[in-house]
Amino acid sequence: MTRTDIYDPHLTGEITIPSISQIEAVTVSLPFVTPFSISSYTWDCKEALLIRIDSGEFSGWGECVADPDPFYSPETTTSCLHIIKEFIVPLIREGKSFTDFLREMDHIRGNKMAKAAIENALLDLIARMREVPLHALLGLEKKMIMSGISIGIKDTVDELLDSVAEAVEKRYHRVKMKIKRGKDVEWVAAVRERFPFIQLMADANGDYSINDINHLKELDVFNLLMIEQPLSYSDIYFHSKLQKEIDTPVCLDESIHSLDDAITAVELGSCRIINIKEGRVGGIIEALRIANYAQSRGIPVWSGGMDETGIGRAFNIHLQTAPAFTIPGDTSETLRYFKEDIVSPIVTLDDEGFISIPEGSGTGVRIETDKLKKYTLRSENLTGLLKK
């Protein structure tokens, strides 16, 4: 199967880039309620690069999911801003078809997070100008979104159990616990013993090697929904060997940066589930291509999170209206991570653990200017980089 066989969202051939009056890059830092730890690093705040694109009275916002450091991804907020300024903004031109714009961005190798920030800001802007919700612009129907929570590595098992208990009480549809060497089998066993019926998964963030097959096999007895990215963040091949040896479904996350990666992983049998982070694969359009391909091959997908502000969370919510997203994603309540956000409404769960799509055009979220100003580290006007 080739890329040309994959459903391509119809909207890209129908829309053009509007007249742009201003582009601004804004870097914010939102403190976490508690530090968030994965196998490779711990963060105590979310530093996010935001992009605002204006056309007259309308504004569209996008969020770059890169961190200020290269400990999760090679891309950083600084490197992304450089790519946006030097190579992406000059491609934005009034009247250019969105399809042509995406094709021109393809000439820029990698730098998916930088591309996604601009693509999403433009889509939000266009949807607001057309006075339609983002999911409608994408040709998708409104629905309630399943919730999922990602629990970082804790200092003790008791702390972990307390966090899972809180998630169960809030009726999250799925619980993900981070694991690493030394905090894996016994920790999963403790959670499963206390909560035998929850949808539970483990995320290793690439902390193991193919030599750990026998150790990872020990997780099979816990009836996990999946184990996410157990091997190297860049690997697809060795995951295929691992999946043949363990019963637990392998989910690939960091290895999937494009539709081509997804095709390779499925053809090799490297995973039975795919985590699609739209900000990591280059934006919502590529995310939909991957989702539709996976659905055609019977591979479930879900929407991963990057501890986004309310801007990025809104894009993830709209993406999950696509039929291919059948597993609860990493979409959780805002106050679980941040004491306050820079948008309204914030993400909340209803009594059954579901999330409503924000009402209104575009993503539906509104920027709270006072909070944006409060958490802004720096801003830069990029309008002069537009080519006439």
- Classify burial at 75, counting beta carbons within 10 Å of its beta carbon; exposed 0-12, middle 13-18, buried 19 or more: buried
Give me the pLDDT at residue 45, please.
85
β-pairing, 376-381 with 22-37? antiparallel
- Choose among 168, 127, 180: nearest CA to 315: 127
Q: Is 241 a catalytic residue?
A: no
Give me the pLDDT at residue 41, please.
64
**pLDDT tens by residue, 152-189:** 899 999 999 999 999 999 999 999 999 999 999 999 99
Which letter does DSSP use for residue 265 in this model? Answer: H
- Distance CA(384)–CA(387), nearest Å, equals 8
> Which of 277, 339, 371, 373 is labelled catalytic?
277
**Average pLDDT estimate for 260-269:** 97
- Classify burial at 98, counting beta carbons within 10 Å of its beta carbon; exposed 0-12, middle 13-18, buried 19 or more: buried
**pLDDT tens by residue, 81-139:** 999 999 999 999 999 999 899 999 999 999 999 999 999 999 999 999 999 999 999 99
Give me the pLDDT at residue 33, please.
85
Domains observed in the chain = 3-137+368-385 (3.30.390.10), 145-366 (3.20.20.120)
- Distance CA(305)–CA(312), nearest Å, equals 9
- Distance CA(1)–CA(266), nearest Å, equals 11
- Choose among 320, 363, 324: nearest CA to 345: 363
Give me the pLDDT at residue 336, please.
86
Give me the pLDDT at residue 4, please.
40
Q: Is 277 a catalytic residue?
A: yes
| pLDDT higher than threshold 60 for residue 1 | no
**pLDDT tens by residue, 63-83:** 999 999 998 889 999 999 999
Which letter does DSSP use for residue 42 in this model? Answer: E
SS3 state of residue 203 = strand
- Classify burial at 311, counting beta carbons within 10 Å of its beta carbon; exposed 0-12, middle 13-18, buried 19 or more: buried
- Distance CA(47)–CA(63), nearest Å, equals 11
Confidence of residue 38 (pLDDT cuts 50, 70, 90): low
Confidence of residue 12 (pLDDT cuts 50, 70, 90): low
Between the two ends of the chain, the Cα-to-Cα distance in Å is: 40
- Choose among 282, 313, 312: nearest CA to 75: 282
Residue in the structure block whose two tokens are 């970082």: 152
Give me the pLDDT at residue 40, please.
60
Give me the pLDDT at residue 5, please.
42
Total residues found in the chain within this entry? 388
> Which of 46, 176, 178, 180 is labelled catalytic?
178
Count the neighbouring beta carbons within 10 Å of the beta carbon of residue 194. Answer: 14
Strand 175-178: give its sheet, edge to edge. 149-151, 175-178, 200-203, 227-228, 250-252, 273-276, 301-303
- Choose among 281, 352, 279, 286: nearest CA to 309: 279
Neighbouring residues of 226: CB distance < 8 A, sequence distance ≥ 6: 201, 202, 248, 249, 250, 251, 272, 273
- Distance CA(41)–CA(252), nearest Å, equals 19
What sign results for the dihedral spanned by CA atoms 263, 241, 233, 110?
negative
Give me the pLDDT at residue 6, please.
45
Give me the pLDDT at residue 44, please.
84
Beta carbons of 228 and 202 less than 8 angstroms apart: yes
Give me the pLDDT at residue 159, please.
95
Side chain identity at residue 119, one-letter code:
E
